[in-house]
Structure 1
Amino acid sequence: MWQRIWAIFHARTLEGIRDRSSLAWNILFPLALLVGFSLFFSGRGQVQYQIGVIGKQVETPVWQDLWQMPYLSFDHYSDAKTAQLHLARHQLDLLVDPSHQRYWVNPKSPKSMMAEKVLQGLVHQPLSRAQLASRPIRYIDWFLPGVLGMNVMFSGLWGVGYSIVRYRKNGVLKRLSATPVQPIEFLLAQVLSRLVLMMVVTVVLFVAATTLLHLTMRGNLVLLFGIFTLGGASMISLGLLIASRSQSEELTSGLVNLISWPMMFLSQVWFSLEGAPHWLKWVADLLPLTQIIRSARQEMLYGTMTSHDWLGLVYVIAFTSVCLIVGAWRFRWR
């Protein structure tokens, strides 16, 4: 059994390495995105201020002008510590507690200091002031885990799902069906081969990006790449599920695009869903890529994994297992 798996794994890996144009594209395109966004978003950023509110909005004349002010977005928190942590991490520009007449600023954030001036101009009442500070996190630092996750997604869905459909259409699977190779052996070899190549590309991208752009890395590298390995396995398993019965490259291409593009925009690759509606956040949390990118950002930028992040990884493991089992069960050679 293991000799057959090794033979298929070796052949598939050589095929991936010899496809130099695809391999170069997987490295150069994400790296170009990182460099481009580093240049594009190095300016002043958005005009809108993100303000956290602890508890409910107090509907009094003192605070009414603030709530009605355009270009301000409000996020409500029931836990003060969570809100303060978001302010310290530059996810909020200002934090207010209307019930206790106080607010917090981050002195290391220019937007926080400007948001304080807006608050003082709209709320004509003495408020208690406090400061929370941490090392600034640039957009490019926040963007890197999203790019790596996006690259893992496309590599897993297209590299495995599309290849298997091509094998079926070209008659390769038909010839393999006459050998002692079992479907589970063939699929396992495909998963391992693509996963190895995927992680090599991820390591090269990470080293190049952190070296060229001096990006932040505060967590454990082994855990970080373990997260991306799990993400790669989940995307590969999803690709296998799509390709388990499909005989048309056009249909497979459409299904992969139908899954990958919404996942790319909802999984916070490009932008945060901090101020998005709750139903949209709930939909995004169902996507495995969301859990992978969120956990990778948490480990890379802050060096700590919360219980919510660990639960997300458990969900990804369950998602991967279900896709692999169903994909192997539905798989047909012909």
Structure 2
Amino acid sequence: MTPAQIADALVAASASESTPLDRRRLQLSAPLAPYTTFRIGGPADVLLEAQTADELATAITAAKQAGISWFVLGLGANVLIGDRGIRGLVIRNAAAAHTISDDGTVWSESGTIMQELVLDTVRAGWSGLEHYIGIPSTVGGALWQNLHFLSPAPERERTMFIAEVFASCEILAEEGDRKVVDADYIQFGYDDTVFHHRRDVVLSATFQLTKADPARLHQILQENLSWRGSRHPWLQVHPSAGSIFKKIEGVGAGRLIDQCGLKGFRVGDAQISHIHANILVNLGHATAADVRALVAHAQAAVKERFGYELQPEVGFIGEF
């Protein structure tokens, strides 16, 4: 099917929904690089920016009914999109409505950017999300990955997980029904949840926060931003997808890559960061092929020297 045919099929399939898709908002052959933190990726056949959780659910349901492949893109971190792009429908989740109640209950649609939610809760004097400042993610992505960070300062001895303040979320289940689920369903683990194993999609989430002094919360924000900034390349200057490889038996992949002397090594415009060897950066015009070649080089070097098989934690999406 051509992009235009895909768009027409999606509109037809959504006609019976309470909020049918607007053909004028379906972008054809739309470049995806601007919507990823890596600034890499070819076009989507059709791109829709979903403004509400209902629209997100409608688009997925329509794609299923029309037999069209679909992919939900949040803030575009932790993914590498192929140079040939993604076939079918890509839904950029921009559903960002959220509320903060007087008892510390926070409800948010899944497309809300975590940094915005963090700042809003800190200003209101509610603690629980301040640990995740500076990490590029939407609410949906935070749940998908069980977002975590070493905090608080100065010890940095405990990993704080988003699961600790999670109450419930509404999902569009793989089977097609909308329902509210709790932590038992999510099965939070380290960099793992049920969403890695089922095609459920988070529509909205509820968190339970605790009252705290806003001045203290702002101090934590500043400490975390400073600590993170000293260890990670700035996305605004050197785009990346975050950590490329998973830990191996508790050993950081960056340490192994560094010991292979690969900091600064590059293929095309893709480079192993001088700051953090488990982060690959885009020096300006890197392609997905450049990144894949650099990933393979690091894997081969670590395998040869240490015998470890590095496993990517970044999703390779689309056609390469």
Give me the TM-score of the superposition, normalised by structure 2: 0.23
Q: Which has the higher contact order (CA 8 A, sep 6+)?
A: 1
Question: Going by fraction, where is helix more abundant, 1 or 2?
Answer: 1
Structure with the greater alpha carbon radius of gyration: 1
